[in-house]
């Protein structure tokens, strides 16, 4: 495989976070980029403005003239554009096939994990930028400080979010690997938890002997993965809040009256100083520790990293405050795994202790809903009210007996309701939510429209105007990889 600026590269599924980021990198490097997706979204609109040719809908003719085709993990082998490419002898690749070549010549910092990889990779990128190191980056969400999900810099570091779905991260060749946590997910791809752990183990094995592994020792699986490399005498840095195995530790974690989190950073018994975050939750304290270790390995002083984290605004759809009207805050979050849901709601309860919490959940894929059902049933304990919409199918066909209605029937919660359509959920919120309240919309699909509709309706009947939500212009509403 040989990349030469000026080549015509066509991306099938260009509207997803993964391929849109790669497309942006190619554009900035001087390639001719085209792509297709079923529907337009903010990501494709932005790419068109930057020079890409984007086709709405799929057609065999879309690949004409391309010298290489790259397909999303969600695209079937017999997809009409891939079939035409093969008939024309145009090479067809997945993301995993091209990532190492894209990042060649850089210090690769790859961030993996079931939860937190988008925010952690965004934190690392932001710190390196604030330190003047001008990294390249590919992130699975919009970095709100730059309003972009990818960029090409002239610095030595290339930060990438390492996606485990379809084993994409096996195509990386990292010098620094972060693993935030490992929990069973993607049951449509990983048959068992053991298979998923083996996939993460293979990702770690891609590090060279002098490569640095950064793992969270608060998580049992990543702690074991770190210990396995450590006993081999290879470089490992472990971080955490509670674990005695952590060499980097957050102490005195606290939340102030404004809901802002601060903590002390201790490394091998030495206090480095305090970190203050604009984004809530213990999980973001852990993410910040990982980012501190990764950037410290690149020579960033603690003081510079601390100042950068104090200005870090987060990533799009990761605890993204979309607006506030009449004493009701609307937050958009990507949580769709039961652990992420539980932690997001716990962070909300901590940040808004006097507000009623309305959790709105759009289940993502039938297979995940079925496989993790028992955990979903207990994930909403921190919410006062729960609305559950129909399942967002993404790449899947329905599974008999698996439905949002059945989840509602099985859930033991004081107020859980089945609101099948997104407008049904928005209508319920408009009628029933009373201030002070927080609405947390959790979805990897198209549910953010619920918050948009709620804010529009309440703005029309409330004196207090809606605040402008950060990151609303640069997002996509579906992520095939989940």
Q: What is the dihedral of CA 455, 440, 187, 288, to 10 degrees?
A: 120
Q: What is the C-alpha separation between 36 and 79, in angstroms, rounded?
A: 12
Nearest Cα neighbor of 129 from 112, 145, 149, 148 is 145
CB-CB contact of 167 with 143 (8 Å): no
Task: Write down the catalytic residue from 81, 130, 161, 183.
Answer: 161
Yes or no: say if 333 and 284 are a contact pair by the CB < 8 Å rule. Answer: no
Candidates 78, 98, 90, 105; CA nearest to 22 is: 98
Point out the catalytic residue in the list 118, 180, 344, 466.
118
Told to judge if 118 belongs to the known catalytic residues of this protein, a careful annotator would answer yes
- Catalytic annotation on 117? yes
Write the CB contacts of 234 (distance below 8 Å, at least 6 apart in sequence). 207, 209, 211, 213
Instruction: Indicate which residue of 114, 117, 130, 339 is catalytic.
Output: 117
Q: How far apart are CA 278 and CA 261, in angstroms?
A: 7
In our burial notation (b when 16+ CB lie closer than 10 A, e otherwise), range 235-272 reads bbbbbbbeeeebebbbeeeebeeeeebbbebbbeeeeb
DSSP of 109-148: EEEE-SSSHHHHHHHHHHHHHHTT---EEEEEEEETTTTE
Strand order in the sheet with 53-56: 53-56, 32-37, 8-12, 68-71, 92-94
User: What residue has token string 């009449």?
Assistant: 326
The catalytic site residues sit at 117-118, 161
């Amino acid at each position: 495989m040989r990349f030469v600026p000026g080549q015509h590269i066509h991306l099938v599924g260009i509207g997803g976070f993964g391929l849109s980021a790669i497309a942006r990198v190619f554009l900035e490097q001087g390639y001719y980029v085209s792509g297709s997706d079923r529907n337009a979204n903010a990501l494709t609109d932005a790419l068109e403005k930057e020079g890409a040719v984007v086709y709405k809908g799929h057609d065999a003719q879309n690949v004409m003239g391309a010298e290489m085709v790259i397909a999303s993990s969600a695209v079937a082998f017999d997809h009409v554009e891939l079939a035409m490419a093969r008939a024309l002898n145009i090479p067809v690749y997945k993301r995993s096939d091209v990532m190492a070549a894209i990042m060649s010549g850089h210090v690769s910092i790859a961030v993996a994990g079931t939860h937190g990889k988008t925010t952690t990779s965004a934190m690392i990128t932001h710190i390196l930028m604030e330190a003047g190191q001008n990294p390249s980056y590919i992130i699975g969400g919009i970095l709100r400080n730059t309003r972009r999900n990818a960029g090409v810099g002239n610095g030595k570091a290339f930060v990438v979010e390492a996606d485990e779905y379809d084993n994409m991260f096996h195509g990386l060749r990292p010098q620094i690997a972060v693993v935030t946590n490992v929990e069973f997910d993607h049951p449509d791809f990983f048959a068992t938890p053991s298979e998923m752990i083996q996939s993460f183990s293979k990702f770690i094995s891609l590090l060279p002997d002098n490569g640095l592994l950064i793992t969270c020792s608060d998580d049992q699986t990543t702690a074991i993965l770190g210990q396995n490399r450590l006993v081999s005498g290879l470089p490992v840095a472990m971080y955490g809040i509670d674990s005695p195995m952590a060499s980097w530790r957050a102490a005195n974690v606290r939340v102030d009256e404004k809901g802002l989190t601060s903590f002390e950073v201790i490394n091998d018994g030495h206090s480095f100083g305090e970190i203050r975050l604009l984004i809530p939750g213990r999980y973001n304290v852990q993410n910040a520790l990982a980012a501190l270790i990764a950037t410290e390995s690149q020579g960033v002083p603690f003081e510079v990293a601390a100042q950068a984290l104090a200005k870090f605004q987060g990533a799009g759809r990761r605890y993204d405050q979309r607006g506030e009207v009449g004493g009701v805050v609307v937050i958009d979050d990507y949580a769709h795994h039961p652990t992420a849901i539980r932690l997001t709601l716990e962070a909300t309860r901590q940040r808004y202790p006097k507000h009623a919490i309305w959790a709105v959940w759009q289940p993502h894929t039938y297979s995940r809903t079925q496989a993790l059902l028992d955990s979903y049933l207990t994930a909403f304990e921190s919410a006062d009210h729960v609305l559950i919409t129909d399942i967002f199918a993404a790449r899947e066909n329905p599974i008999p007996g698996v439905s949002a209605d059945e989840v509602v029937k099985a859930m033991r919660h004081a107020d859980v309701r089945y609101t099948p359509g997104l407008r049904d959920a928005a209508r319920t919120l408009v009628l029933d939510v009373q201030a002070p309240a927080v609405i947390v919309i959790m979805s990897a699909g198209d549910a953010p429209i619920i918050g948009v509709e709620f804010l529009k309706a309440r703005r029309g009947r409330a004196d207090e105007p809606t605040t402008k939500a950060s990151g609303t212009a640069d997002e996509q509403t579906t992520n095939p990889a989940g």
